[in-house]
Every structure is written in C-alpha cells, then in structure tokens.
A and B are shown apart, each in its own frame.
Chain A
Amino acid sequence: MQTVAPPLRHRRVLVVSGLAALLVVTALVSLAVGARPIGVGAVWQALWTPSGTEEDVIVRGLRVPRTVLGVAVGLALGVAGALMQGHTRNPLADPGLLGVSAGAALAVVIGIYAFGVTTLLGYVWFAFAGAFAASVAVFVLGSLGPGGASPVSLALAGVAVTALLGALTSAIVLVDVSTLDAYRFWAVGALAGRGPDVALQVAPFVLGGLVIGLAGAPGLNLLALGDDVARGLGQNVTLVRWSGLVAITLLTGAAVAACGPIAFLGLVVPHIARALTGPDHRWLLPAAGLTGAVLLLGADIVGRVVARPGELQVGIVLALIGAPFFIALVRRRRLVAL
C-alpha cells in the first residue's frame, strides 16, 4: 500500500516488531526472576552451556517450561480474545463470554469426578472436548433464529450456555470434596507446576489455532463491515464464522487446559492492541497475541516477586491488575464500537 497511507503501515510494522522485542525482554526477565534470583549471565550460561549446577537445573527444568507455556498461553488468549470480539462485534467479548472457558472447566470437572483423571495431561483432552462442545452449542443456539448467527444472538447464547455450564460445574464440585480439591488447584489459573510435557502437548493446538485465526483475518475484516457487505464482496460468511470458531476453540481450549481459566486477558488485550494498530485484523491479531504473551508473562513475574518466598498465581495477579486497568480503559475513552 504505497499511496495508501504509508505512515499507518509503517506504524503497524513498528508496533508489531516493538511488541516482539518487548516479549523477548520479558521472557529473559521471566527466566531470571523467581524465588531464587539468577543473573542474566548465569541464565545465558544455563541456556547454552549448562554444566549441571543448581542454577542450570532451575532455569532449564522450571523456568524455561514455565516461560514457554506463558508465551504460548498468552499468545493463545490474546488472539482468541481479538477473534471473539471481532466475530461477535462485541467489545466486551472474551473467552468467558462464548461459554468456551465454562465448557472446558465443566469437562475437566467431569474428568476428575467421573473418570478419576488427576494429571494435567489428562485435563488437556477433557478441556478441549468441553471447549469445543460449548462453542458449537453456542454457535448452533445463536444461529437458530431466522437471521442466522448475529453478533447479538451469539452473545446471548454464550451468556446462557455459560450460566448453565457454570451451574453444572458448581453442582459437581459441591457434591464431591475430592473433586473440589483437584479442581481448585487447576481452576485458579497458574503457570507454575506445569512441566515441559504440558507445554509440548498444547503447543500444536496453539499453533494450529494461530494459523487458522490469522488465515481468517481478511475475511474477518470484511465481516466487520456487516454480513451483507461481506457477502457482496464475495466472502463466504459461514466459512469465516466456522473457521473463527475452530480457531477460538483450539486457542482457548489449549490455554484453559494448560493453565485453568485465566480471566481478563482475552478481554483487555484486544483493546490495547486495537489502540496500537487500528481495526485491521491482519495487524490486530498478531499485536493482540504478542501483547497477551507480554502481559501474561509480566503478571507471572510480578506474582513471583510480590509474595516472596511464596507466589501469587498469575490468574489472581491478572485479575488484580486487569480489573482496575479495564475500568480505567472504559472511563478514559468510551468503548470502541465494533
């Protein structure tokens, strides 16, 4: 786009590369900071020339998996949030809204209660199944009316399904104390205590979701102009909606399975990204992913520092930072109309 506003294009390139650089820095800090601070030099040494010292073991065995997982989950939730807000044209949409998180949570609880699943690797598959079933249910419910799936009908169906699934989850957890104990640990939303196998297991799903989501960006740009304009421009609207649903399910399902439901990230991140790049999803989605990863890692680092020698779970930190931030965002400028 040479004659078409080169400054804007340059700005977007700058924003995305700036966020990528920020993510690298945050990841390095995440490797260095913890209950036992390790210098950047020692981190570097542990990464490239490990000699089996205690520091090497901490960096390679604990902090690398934790950081990799944080990046993957942050990318997933940031992009999923932006996709959701784009598809529902609702600035308050987040993975909690379309029932995806609630579906994953219920499936995990069923897995613990009925099938005796106790490992995180076991949760992953239940979380996927639940996330997918819930999103399909929401999509089908939202499409039932004469007009098909509209942003409003999708949001309404999402709220209804979320309430139902949440009630079922509470019912099971209240009935069975051992399920409650296992669920509690998972549901708080944490990056800690997940081994490298968890990151490896969810990585392909996050990757798949990112690819499908980004591939749908041009179509989503057209949907933003209304279904009729999108169809008029030759876009298969149903195809974009379904591909969006698959991407959202993969990303949210993977994130929830690995870390439990993490609130606020999917809601806040797209607003930050949109302020930086504007409404073009080809730029907005990558920016949202990177912002999500930076924020999640940042919150995790804060959680390691504030409650020394203990830790505050990243889900709690994000809620503590996210809620006031979101209120400020809403107060400072009226919510962006999509």
Chain B
Amino acid sequence: MTHVTGTGGVRLQARGLQLAYGDNVVVDDLDLDVFDGTVTAVIGPNGCGKSTLLRALGRLLPARSGHVLLDGRRIDRTPTREVAKVLGVLPQAPVAPEGLTVADLVARGRHPHQTWYRQWSTDDESAVGEALAWTGMTEFATRTLDQLSGGQRQRAWISMALAQGTDVVLLDEPTTYLDLAHQVDVLDLVERLNREMGRTVVMVLHDLNLAARYAGRLVAMRAGRIVASGTPDEVLTEDLLCEVFGLDARVVPDPVTGTPLVVPIGRRSRVDPARRP
C-alpha cells in the first residue's frame, strides 16, 4: 500500500471535468475527490452520467475539458500501462470469449506487469493464486466462464481486478443482473477488498440501500452534475431523494446497520389526487 504524499490523501481527483459523446454533453464542470482507503458509491437516476464519470476516472473516455488526476498526476499524460498498475477498472457486464477458463481470465489481469519477453513470472503466479483463493474461486479455476453462475462469474472478474494488484479499483455496477443474495455477496467482497486489502474503491450502484450500507461516502449525481456528496447520513435525505430522483420516500435507520434506509412512497409526478382510486 503506497501512501502518496502531497495530495492530502486524495488518490483520484476530477477538476472541471466536461464529458461528452459527440455533441451530447453528459457531464459538465464536475469536481470530485476520492480519498485513500475509502469506498465511494456514485448514485443517481438512469442517464445522469454516473457510468460516464466512472469511465473518465478510469481514462477510458477522454475529457472534453478539465482533467482527471491520479495521485496528483494527469491521468491522460501518464503512460496507460503505468496507470494500470495503480488503477483497475471493471466495466458493467464485461464479456469474455467462450471457452475462457477462470484461471486464464484472472491471469490476463497481470498484463500491466508483463513484457513481451517475460510473459509470466513467479509474481504473476502468486498474485493469480492469491486472487483466486481470496475470492473463493480456486476450486473453479479450471472451469470456463460460461459454466459459472452470474454471481460466480462476477467473482471471477473481481479476481481479475484483484490480480491486477491496483490500489484503486473502479467498479461500474458490479451487481448488475444478480439476485439480491448475490448482490450482497459481491458487495461483501468489495467491502473486504477495502478493509482487508486497503483498496480504494469507487463504484456505481443503483440500489440506494446497499450503497448506504457498503460505501463510506456517497456521491449523488443528477443531469451530469454532483448534487451532494458526503456520508450516507448526509446525502440520503428525503429532500435529496426528491431533488435527485423525483422520488417521494421516507428515510429510516436500517434495522441491521443503522445506515439510512430508503422506503419509497411513490414518484412525486404520479401524486395526482384526481387519478387516485
């Protein structure tokens, strides 16, 4: 775990970020600080620019203007392979070719540490072995990905990100297509990634209650801007839910963890007395 001095414990920063697909500006004038050793969840309605922001933080999408800093260095001016040793990105619902084994997938996570003349080292060997053991995937190492359940497959991808050995990990909706039990399973893994391995995590999540539980810090976005950021208690308020999601909801303490629990009432726009039965 390297602690970088001179950036005040901030690993990843966005400054005046404007992101666009063609002429369509998705994120505008956005500032964000991601602190070392934290789990940050980005929340917001569909199309608010969460995933776009995550792709820009992971230098997968170049900024229209503004920039992203990784440990104080501009990410777009740092060699991509160097970035890949510090920062890992897992896109939403990634694809793998048929017949790829779990072991082979996880081994591909070692790419940034390899050169054309040295394709495999003992470091790679132990990193892959540890990543598999740590996610409980060792027994599935020789299976192909298409033989796995959705939850196991996601564990395999997280193993790959783990084998990459980066301090910072960006996850775009790691729970997509999973049932609730497997969502919790994956997020437990993310929590351990943070607590036991000291990884800094930024993830996009749809489920607000799970976000409040597993992230120390929430960033709420609407229409390409950050509306609120802070602890779950600070961000997940009834007013904010109304402002960001247009959602009429009660917020009560989670009976298990005490974090905010969102209980939806109904969309404000639908509260039309004339149409109520």
Contact = CB atoms under 8 A, between A and B. Distances in A.
Given A218-B119, A232-B89, A1 B114 contact: no
A275 to B, nearest CB: 9
Interface size band for B: 35 or more
B177 interface: no
A218 B99 contact: no
A215 interface: yes
Given A8-B142, A278-B100, A235 B94 contact: no
Given A232-B88, A337-B97, A5 B141 contact: yes
Interface string B70-109: 0000000000111111011111001111111101110111
A319 to B, nearest CB: 27
Given A233-B109, A278-B104, A5 B142 contact: yes
Contacts of A221: 108
B99 A222 contact: no
Contacts of A338: 97-98
Contacts of B101: 5, 8, 278
B125 A234 contact: no
B108 A336 contact: no
B81 A234 contact: yes
Interface string B111-149: 110101001100001001100000000000110000000
B236 to A, nearest CB: 29
A231 B80 contact: yes
Contacts of B90: 229, 232
B58 A232 contact: yes
A37 B228 CA distance: 84
A106 to B, nearest CB: 33
Contacts, number: 105
Contacts of B104: 4-5, 278-280
Interface in A213-230: 215, 218, 221-222, 224-226, 228-229
A282 interface: yes
B252 interface: no
Most buried by A among B85, B99, B128, B142: B99
B107 A4 contact: yes
B22 interface: yes
Interface size band for A: 20 to 34
Nearest to A281: B97
Contacts of A337: 97-98
Contacts of A229: 89-91, 94
Most buried by B among A218, A234, A236, A279: A234
Contact of B80 (A2, A228, A236, A282): A236
Most buried by A among B83, B95, B125, B164: B95
B60 interface: yes
Interface string B47-74: 0000000010011100000000000000
A274 interface: yes
B96 A224 contact: yes
Contact of B99 (A89, A146, A278): A278
A222 B114 CA distance: 13
A52 interface: no
A228 B89 contact: yes
A228 B55 CA distance: 8
Interface string A132-165: 0000000000000010000000000000000000
Most buried by B among A232, A235, A236: A232
Interface in A1-35: 1-5, 7-8
Contacts of B120: 1
A279 B59 contact: no
Nearest to B107: A4
Most buried by B among A5, A221, A233, A282: A233
Nearest to B21: A146
A231 B60 contact: yes
A232 B95 CA distance: 14
Contacts of A282: 119
A178 to B, nearest CB: 48
Nearest to A337: B98
Given A221-B108, A232-B88, A233-B112, A274 B94 contact: no
Q: Which 6 A-B pairs have the closest CB atoms?
A: A234-B84, A232-B89, A234-B81, A234-B112, A228-B91, A279-B97
18 contacts: A1-B103, A3-B129, A4-B125, A4-B129, A5-B101, A5-B142, A146-B21, A224-B96, A224-B97, A225-B95, A225-B96, A226-B91, A228-B55, A229-B94, A233-B84, A233-B164, A234-B85, A235-B80
Given A218-B114, A234-B82, A235-B80, 7 more contacts: A3-B125, A231-B80, A232-B60, A232-B88, A336-B98, A337-B98, A338-B97
